[in-house]
Chain A
Amino acid sequence: MAGPLTRRRLLGTLGGVGGTALAAGWAPVAFSMTAPAATKKTRQWAMVIDLRRCDGCKKCTQACQETHHLPQTFEWIKVFDVKDTSGASYFMPRPCFQCENAPCLRVCPVAATFKDDEGMVLVDQDRCIGCRMCMAACPYGARYFNYNEPPQYDNPFGHPTPEFPVPQQKGTVGKCMFCVHRTEDGVLPACVEACGMNALYIGDLVEDVATNGVETVRLSTFLKENDAFRYKEELGTGPRVWYIAGHGQLLEG
């Protein structure tokens, strides 16, 4: 580049070089910013319920009702007193199974029931029209309809969301959502935390791990070694809740 050096040309050259350097420096950052953040994991939640340990105390039901400000008739996790064909009597907690092939999802006329990216089946109570088709379709009786005005509660986050549908809305359907409003903050679901026998495990199918708050196990091994089963498997709903067969035999005393 020939010619006398003027102030303009100096500044121009510096600016050009500096700008190029800046751009060269920013570019990789810009690219990494558009790439998905590696910090938030994609979970696929699942639960394991150890029937060898459930003592039917219903603390899970209570904790769920308290956390979500539910009326007493709403048992989003319900503990059944079962007598099976071999005569054994045991307790079976039943949350919503968050089925892979959920019947309730398909039959909702307004898609108020939907699946989030963690595989959880959620209900948008702002859209629900209360036709109760999902309740007819659920083979596990896991859905509850707000016939009456539900208990009022001042939601600190403002409006209730499908992840935290508190307070419930009258004339709509509600159900267990694996406490996604807690798990997204790294807190155990209310029922898992409340279980005194540590019989409820919450796990991740992607990372293949589950914990009951005290003990952490490799999910697939835990299921295989303990002959876990799913309830009404033949219906093809693909539940995300496994049961470890038992009749309370691990309870002490």
Chain B
Amino acid sequence: MSYLLEVKDLQVDLAIPAGTLNAVRKISFSVSRGETLALVGESGCGKSLTAMAIMNLLPRQARCQAAVLSFEGDDLRSFSQKQMADIRGRKMAMIFQEPMTSLNPCYTIGNQLEEAQLRHQKVSRQEARDRAVYLLEKVGITAAGSRLKQYPHQLSGGLRQRVMISMALMCAPALIIADEPTTALDVTIQAQILSLLASLQQEFNMGMIMITHDLGVVSRVADQVVVMYCGQIIESAPTRELFARPLHPYTQGLLACIPIPGRSKRGQHLGSIPGTVPTPVGRLQGCIFRNRCPLAVEACAEQTVNLQEIHARRSYRCLLSPDRAGYNWLEHDEYE
């Protein structure tokens, strides 16, 4: 079976004054057409850098290595900058978090939408305009024809994000990378944008990587979830299995942290993970989560902790066996 995107042992290092920051440490995953993969984690866990590495948009001080980095069977690393620029926007497209900063305020949205197609395909301006109108209508923008003449500042946040989505779709890409596409939006708009993305993905049979920190969003849209912590994958599972039975203490902790109407007891403590995320500088020994882990034992500091595989699509990085790794974060409150 061939994947749309296959990543194996991807590593991203950043040179910082204090040394080398191992921002992404040997992560592997794959995405097929029509599938949604969610990359979940707190800020600084390396999820956005992973996306940048795939798009070859890393900052200059970053170094990137990988055993496999293939897209539609081609090795992405063998491409020149020029070839890469040809693929970006045409075969893989990105939707950024903040639509205000990623749209050019000096050009009309029509201009920017058309450019996305004119840059890559031999089409006339009129054809590009028709496609832009078609897609704007597709994403639920009314009076699309007249919207083309508007500038980004004339649109609301929800509309701008819709424009970003249609821009990503202009060349009908095979892979969409959405980096926190709804974080800046209101909850009501969030639900609309997510269902829109899901239906467009089905229609055009695209692969999608959804980067987010919101487990609620993940549970509703993803097929496969990859949980990252400090640049490592600590758990990877099909969505239903992950939410039914998270195996890593960190995943369990994250789930206990979010208030859920009807399920969490009002006015009572939520679960919380003590401490803060460490900065992954220098060599790593033992489990990186052990300082915050309630189940940590001595072996966690000494041994290298590898991913344990449960089945082909499910693995977790912990020394404990699946039935022992369970921890009830709510019963063991740090304050009590």
Bound pair (A, B): no
Residues of A within 8 A of B (CB): none
Residues of B within 8 A of A (CB): none
